[in-house]
Amino acid sequence: MSTNTSRSVPAPAAASHAAAGRRRPPLVLLLPATAAALIALLPLGYLGARSLERGGDFAWDIVTEQRTLELLGRSMGLTAIVVSASLVLGISLAWLTVRTDLPGRRVWAVLATLPLAVPSYVAAFTWISAVPSLAGLPGAAITLTFACFPYVFLPVAATLRGIDPAQEEAARSLGSGSLRTFVRVTLPQVKPAAGGGAILVALYVLSDFGSVSITRYDTFTRAIHSSYQASFDRTPAAVLGCVLVAMTVLLVTAENRTRGRAGHARTGRGSARPPVRLRLGGWTGPALAWCAAVAAAAVAFPLATLGYWLTIGSSGFDGQKLWSATVATVTVAAVGAAVTTLLALPVGVLSARHRGRLARLLEQSVYAGHAVPGITVGLALVFFSVRYAYPLYQEMPLLIVAYVVLFLPVAVASARAAVLQAPPVLEDVARTLGRSPLQVLREITVPLAAPGIGAGAALTFVVIMKELPATLLLRPTGTDTLATRLWTETGAGAFSGAAPYAAVIVLIAAVPSYLLGRRS
Please compute the mean of the pLDDT values over residues 399-403 and round it to a whole number.
Answer: 92
The verdict on residue 272 lying in a domain is no
Please report which helix (H) or strand (E) contains residue 40, including its range: helix 27-51
CATH code (residue 126)? 1.10.3720.10
Q: Rg for the chain (alpha carbons), in Å? A: 23
- Span 8-59, pLDDT tens digits: 444 444 444 444 444 577 887 888 888 888 888 888 888 888 888 788 888 8
Q: Is residue 175 predicted with pLDDT exceeding 90?
A: no
d(CA 479, CA 405): 21
Nearest 10 degrees: Cα torsion 464, 199, 455, 303: -60
Q: Which long-range contacts (CB under 8 A, 24 or more apart) does 99-107 make?
A: 99/160, 99/186, 99/275, 99/277, 99/278, 100/277, 100/278, 100/279, 100/280, 100/287, 101/277, 101/278, 101/279, 101/280, 102/280, 102/284, 102/287, 102/288, 102/291, 103/284, 103/288, 106/518
To the nearest whole percent, how much of the chain has pLDDT over 90? 13
The verdict on residue 344 lying in a domain is yes
pLDDT score recorded for residue 332: 93
The verdict on residue 71 lying in a domain is yes
Mean pLDDT of the chain: 79
Q: Alpha carbon 506 to chain centroid distance? A: 18
Q: Running DSSP on this structure, what letter comes out for residue 444?
A: I
The verdict on residue 504 lying in a domain is yes
d(CA 244, CA 206): 7
Number of domains in the chain: 1
* Number of residues written out for the chain: 520
d(CA 346, CA 336): 17
pLDDT score recorded for residue 339: 94
Q: Which long-range contacts (CB under 8 A, 24 or more apart) does 293-296 make?
A: 294/89, 294/93, 294/112, 294/146, 294/149, 295/108, 295/111, 295/112, 295/114
* Orientation of helix 482-491 relative to helix 120-130, angle to 10°: 30
C-alpha triplet 109, 113, 119: angle, nearest 5°: 160
- Continuous H helices in 422-445: 424-432, 437-440
- Span 121-144, pLDDT tens digits: 788 878 887 888 888 899 999 999
Q: Is residue 355 predicted with pLDDT exceeding 60?
A: yes
CB neighbours of 233 closer than 8 A, spacing ≥ 6? Answer: none
Give pTM, 2 decimals.
0.72
The verdict on residue 215 lying in a domain is yes
Instruction: Using pLDDT thresholds of 50, 70 and 90, give the confidence band for residue 177.
Output: low
Residue-number span of the structural domain to which 327 is assigned: 31-261+292-519
pLDDT score recorded for residue 313: 62
d(CA 246, CA 239): 11
Helix (H, G, I), strand (E, B) or coil at 199: helix
The verdict on residue 170 lying in a domain is yes
